[in-house]
Structure 1
């Protein structure tokens, strides 16, 4: 009888234990216009860039599912008004949906060469969320 009560208590505790948190790379569009997003990353050997995710205003989207595999990720985004979030890390892209292996010889391979900004997630991060904001918006009062 004591043994059965112990097993029941352990099973009950397991049923109410908090679920493990999801580990993903997410991006949130905290602007008032639709934003198109591309991401690039490396596994230490090869580069991959992919896009496009179209996020409506105030929406979030998971770009990569699962625990982060790298410390650095690269993002490029543009809004409907021609605004951009860009940087100096050049990757291959195209106007329509894409998934490109490698970051060299973009033009020769029929792609555009686009500047992405760097995200340093730290060495031990398992998940990360990027918040895109409108740089021209007035600060909240």
Structure 2
């Protein structure tokens, strides 16, 4: 009887060790789990987000992501392609925005726009984004709060980084 209990315990331990090794291996082989650009909506409102970034010599803006109140969303999966990212957010429920002085192109519907020059002439809106410095990390999370909201900016600058 003692031999059976010992054998049973040995099998259970082996199964536990195998489970831990498999779980650790899946984490180690999943690069996106460790390298994403995320935004968390720490407000009680639904918000819309656009992101801008420079990959090589080319600027790109993308949108829209819709975030529910008190939720997070991964905007870009995998290792970050730039040190600086630019965010623009709109509060759908209470008005207001998260904006800045770096002007880029957007539009009302879902978009991916290459280039940040001549937005209006190309049929896009010219929108002020705020800068996020990721310090060259592989993964970064931005948290938007009510205190960060502003009214629309009237003047600004084009990002230069």
Q: Do both proteins adopt the same fold according to a TM-score greater than 0.5, normalized to the shorter chain? A: yes
Unpaired segments ≥5 residues, structure 1: 1-7
Distance 2:51 2:95 in 1: 18
Give the SS at the match of 1:68. Answer: coil
Match of 1:126 in 2: 138
Unpaired segments ≥5 residues, structure 2: 1-13, 150-161
- TM-score, structure 2 normalization: 0.73
Distance 1:54 1:132 in 2: 13
2:70 aligned with 1:58, yes or no? yes
Once the two structures are TM-superposed, the CA of residue 61 in structure 1 deviates from its matched residue by: 0.6
RMSD: 2.1
Q: Tell me which protein shows more helix as a share of its residues.
A: 2
Once the two structures are TM-superposed, the CA of residue 106 in structure 1 deviates from its matched residue by: 0.2
Give the SS at the match of 1:28. Answer: strand
Distance 1:37 1:120 in 2: 17
Give the SS at the match of 1:135. Answer: helix
Deviation digits for residues 71-106 of structure 1 (CA, Å, limit 9, x no counterpart): 000000010222111001100001111110000000
- Out of 56-65 and 18-27, give the one that drifted further: 18-27
How many residues of Structure 1 are paired with residues of Structure 2 in the alignment?
127
| TM superposition outliers: structure 1 runs of 4+ over 2 Å | 11-18
Distance 1:100 1:24 in 2: 21
- TM-score, structure 1 normalization: 0.83
Once the two structures are TM-superposed, the CA of residue 63 in structure 1 deviates from its matched residue by: 0.3
Selected match of 1:98 from 87, 111, 129: 111
Selected match of 2:22 from 12, 15, 30: 15
Once the two structures are TM-superposed, the CA of residue 59 in structure 1 deviates from its matched residue by: 1.0
Q: Tell me which protein shows more strand as a share of its residues.
A: 1
Q: Do the aligned residues in 1 keep the contact of 2:104 with 2:127 (CA within 8 Å)?
A: yes
